[in-house]
Amino acid sequence: MDLSFTEEQEALRGLAREVFAGHCTDERLREIGSGSERYDLALWEALARANVLGAGTPEAAGGIGGGLIEVCMVCEEAGRATAPVPLGPALVGALALARAGRTQEALAFVEGGAPVVPALGDDPFTPTVIARDDRLTGTVSFVPAAARAAAIIVPTDVGVFLVEPGSATVDRQQPTGTEPLYRVTLDGVPSEPIDLDHASFAQTAIVALCAEQVGVAEAALRLTAAYTSGREQFGKPIGSFQAVQQRAADAYIDVEAMRWTMWEAAWRLDEGLAAAEHVEIAKVWASEGAARVLAAAQHLHGGMGVDLDYPLHRYTFAARRNELALGGAAPHLARLGDLIA
């Protein structure tokens, strides 16, 4: 396993970080967060102009010819910036389209069009939709960006299908934080089969989410390090106290475990290797590890951690949302137990 990155991949990371830094300022995030929907169209357009939206699509579809590794690099930067766009689900959808040979749909997204998003619910490996004669019936909750999507990728009991949002009933749900999710209800709606393996598609979505969670947790830890280095008590920075250092060190270990379990799973999926156990391990670390990191960040910030004028709350909300998205730690631990039993 080679987990070193190429110059091209590092350049993509740098480009994504530059775009996010220019748009995800504290002032701009406050403005977006005060609205009814956490979505920054100007940021989306900037990501399209920089071809960051093409991270996981081939050059024939207007992308950079990357795969899941590149998608995860961008998702990590999006998490670090708490970017107010549904980038992870959109990149997973574009990658799925490209791998299924749907070049035109992928090209429309890469150029800044509406995304194609996955409808995986809270149990990504157990479809809740039934397909009969290419007509779908069932309900999927917690679908990201469904109201803005050009199409929705829906796994069913017999395969994976593409659905136009206009043919379904899309109801807004309000999770932790401000970014809305949607309940998609299908009542015999027409659909189009797409050449995707359901399990691989779900694993890809999980790993991309884990990458975003790594960015969230690392940024929260860096914010905490800066705060404890400057906050003084008894004439010394509180970061010089042993108890604070131990708590921060434990959080650092959690972040690194999250990072490298995620990269191992992403690498195996990109190489076409068996990755079921590795994906489950990555998601458990992303859920439980980030929960510990953000709890430490809140405690080490003291009262400042609950001040909504201070940026830590964005990472706390994002980490909690990502922890539970596509299943919390418990169901993934149960599935991992079945895999290794």
Cβ–Cβ < 8 Å for 94, 57: yes
Across the range 180-200, mean pLDDT stands at 95
Q: Which of 84, 113, 142 is the last residue of a domain?
A: 113
The answer on pLDDT for 1 being more than 70 is no
- Of 149, 151, 58, nearest to 110 by C-alpha is 58
CA separation for the pair 46, 240 (Å, rounded): 41
On whether both 49 and 85 belong to a single domain, the answer is yes
On whether both 139 and 176 belong to a single domain, the answer is yes
The answer on pLDDT for 223 being more than 90 is yes
Asked if residue 257 is part of any domain, the answer here is yes
CATH of residue 16's domain is 1.10.540.10
Asked if residue 120 is part of any domain, the answer here is no
On whether both 273 and 297 belong to a single domain, the answer is yes
Structure-token pair, residue 122? 């809270």
CA separation for the pair 24, 41 (Å, rounded): 12
Q: Which of 153, 173, 194 is the last residue of a domain?
A: 194
pLDDT value at position 178? 65
pLDDT value at position 268? 96
Asked if residue 325 is part of any domain, the answer here is yes
pLDDT per position as a tens digit, 21-35: 999 999 999 999 887
135-139, 178-182, 225-229, 233-237: least confidently modelled range: 178-182
Measured in whole angstroms, the distance separating CA 24 from the mean position of its chain's CA atoms is: 17
CA separation for the pair 255, 129 (Å, rounded): 36
CATH of residue 178's domain is 2.40.110.10
pLDDT value at position 232? 77
Cβ–Cβ < 8 Å for 280, 199: no
Q: Are strands 116-118 and 151-155 parallel, antiparallel or unpaired?
A: parallel
On whether both 155 and 64 belong to a single domain, the answer is no
Across the range 163-188, mean pLDDT stands at 88
Across the range 307-319, mean pLDDT stands at 93
Asked if residue 299 is part of any domain, the answer here is yes
Across the range 3-17, mean pLDDT stands at 93
Decide: helix, strand or coil at residue 327: coil
Domain span at residue 76 reads 7-113
On whether both 236 and 177 belong to a single domain, the answer is no
On whether both 206 and 165 belong to a single domain, the answer is no
Decide: helix, strand or coil at residue 63: coil
Across the range 225-247, mean pLDDT stands at 89
pLDDT value at position 252? 98
The answer on pLDDT for 216 being more than 90 is yes
Q: Which of 148, 166, 194 is the last residue of a domain?
A: 194
pLDDT per position as a tens digit, 74-129: 999 999 999 999 999 999 999 999 989 888 888 889 988 899 999 999 999 999 99
Highest-confidence range of 26-30, 165-169, 175-179, 282-286, by mean pLDDT?
282-286
pLDDT value at position 128? 94
CA dihedral angle for residue 7, residue 10, residue 12, residue 15, rounded to 10 degrees: -120
Cβ–Cβ < 8 Å for 115, 90: yes
In the chain, % of residues over pLDDT 70: 99
pLDDT value at position 231? 85
Average pLDDT of the residues of the chain: 93
Cβ–Cβ < 8 Å for 72, 262: yes
